[in-house]
């Protein structure tokens, strides 16, 4: 047994509140230190045991020792594990169920009899609720600045994203925050704004429409639309004319080249026939000349 003056135990915990999802696992880790209690002899106090309990210490789960574990809760024993080392202790539960939520107490006891406790809050991971969008002004007029705030009543670690739906329906991400600010608004800002809220368990969304039905100044955007359509049609027509003209020019050049080749072929054929006729005529003349020499 350890002999000496009791030393205080200091427990260090990284995260005291943990949220869990049913079916998964969680681990409650803690690190501890003890000061030397007898500097002259060099002896140090050590942790003898760590006991995990729930319901403010009323219900013990397991007593962790260095060489064994004494389980008090048979239900958690089948799904749990406890590990005590020289400077740390951890408690793990697997295949979590909603009933595992609660406040978990850890009590460390040293060889000298010193005790220290710490508390962990283990909560069930909640799905996000449907978001609610609020604006900071009663009346939205052209040219003003205003903000939209997206809120949820419940949900663990909710992540917020503001998107704007463009003409083809593809969302464009504006900001990843609960608040969206629009400045000096005009008809180009009109459209549908979507707040998306999600966490590891679920996802919800809400829409805010800035349309001509509620805000007449949004109609300016629609009035400009025929102009752009007309310009687009004119540009498309000119492009089509250029394509047709190019095809016609190409075909005409091909026809001219084909006619030229045909004329060249005819000329070559005539020259060939002319040379053949000249050769025959020359041969005939030679025969007549020979006959004259033989029969004077």
**Is the model more confident about 50 or about 245?**
50
Could you tell me if 29 and 14 are in contact, meaning their C-beta atoms sit under 8 angstroms apart? yes
Residue for token digits 């704004």? 193
Average pLDDT (224-236) is 62
Q: Which residues of 195-208 are buried (b: 16+ CB within 10 A; e: fewer)?
A: bbbbbeeeebebeb
Cβ 37 vs Cβ 114: under 8 Å = no
**Residue 95 confidence (pLDDT):** 93
Mean pLDDT of 42-55: 86
Number of neighbours of residue 48 by Cβ within 10 angstroms:
17
Residue 11, pLDDT above cutoff 80: yes
Query: pLDDT grade, residue 295 (50/70/90)?
Result: very low
Which pLDDT tens digit goes with each residue over 66-120? Answer: 889 999 988 888 899 999 998 999 999 999 999 999 999 999 999 888 899 999 9
Q: How many residues are recorded in the chain?
A: 296
Give the mean pLDDT of 8-27.
90
Instruction: Report residue 293's pLDDT band, with 50, 70 and 90 as the boundaries.
Output: very low
User: What gap in Å lies between CA 177 and CA 129, rounded to an integer?
Assistant: 17
Q: What is the pLDDT of residue 243?
A: 82
Region 33-37: mean pLDDT is: 73
Strands, E assignment, the chain: 9-12, 17-20, 26-34, 36-38, 43-44, 47-54, 59-64, 69-71, 80-84, 88-93, 102-110, 115-124, 132-135, 146-151, 159-165, 171-175, 179-182, 191-198, 203-210
- What is residue 138's three-state secondary structure? coil
Residue 191 has pLDDT above 60, yes or no: yes
How far is C-alpha 47 from the geometric centre of its chain's CA atoms?
Answer: 46
pLDDT at 29: 94
Does pLDDT of 48 surpass 90?
A: yes
Instruction: Give the integer Cα–Cα distance in Å for 37 and 39.
Output: 6
Q: In this model, does residue 296 exceed pLDDT 50? A: no
Q: Say how far apart CA 148 and CA 180 lie, in whole Å.
A: 5
CA–centroid distance for 135 within its chain: 27
Tell me the pLDDT of the chain averaged across its residues.
81
Return the structure tokens found at 78: 């089948």
Which segment of 126-135, 164-173, 256-265, 280-289 scores lowest on mean pLDDT?
Answer: 280-289
Give me the percent of the chain exceeding a pLDDT of 70.
74
* Residue 140, pLDDT above cutoff 70: yes
């Amino acid at each position: 047994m350890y002999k000496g003056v009791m030393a205080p135990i200091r427990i260090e915990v990284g995260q005291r509140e943990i949220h869990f999802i049913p079916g998964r696992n969680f681990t409650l880790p803690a690190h501890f230190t003890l000061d030397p209690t007898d500097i002259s002899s060099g002896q140090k106090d050590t942790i003898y045991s760590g006991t995990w309990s729930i319901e403010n210490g009323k219900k013990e789960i397991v007593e962790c020792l260095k060489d064994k574990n004494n389980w008090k809760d048979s239900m958690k024993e089948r799904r749990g594990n406890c590990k005590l080392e020289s400077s740390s202790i951890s408690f793990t539960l697997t295949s979590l169920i909603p009933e595992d939520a609660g406040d978990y107490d850890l009590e460390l006891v040293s060889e000298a009899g010193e005790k220290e406790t710490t508390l962990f809050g283990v909560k069930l991971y909640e799905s996000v609720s449907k978001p609610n969008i609020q604006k900071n002004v009663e009346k939205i007029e052209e040219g003003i600045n205003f903000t939209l705030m997206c809120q949820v009543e419940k949900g663990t670690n909710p992540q917020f994203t503001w998107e704007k739906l463009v003409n083809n329906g593809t969302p464009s991400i504006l900001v990843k925050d609960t608040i969206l600010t629009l400045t000096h608004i005009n008809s180009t800002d009109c459209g549908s704004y979507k707040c998306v809220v999600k966490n590891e368990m679920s996802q919800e969304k809400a829409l805010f429409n800035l349309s001509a039905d509620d805000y007449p100044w949004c109609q300016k955007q629609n009035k400009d639309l025929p102009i752009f359509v007309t310009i687009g049609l004119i540009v498309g027509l000119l492009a089509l004319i250029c394509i047709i003209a190019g095809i016609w020019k190409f075909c005409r050049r091909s026809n001219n080249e084909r006619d030229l080749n045909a004329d060249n072929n005819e000329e070559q054929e005539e020259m060939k026939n002319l040379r053949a006729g000249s050769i025959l005529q020359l041969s005939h003349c030679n025969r007549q000349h020979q006959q004259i020499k033989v029969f004077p």
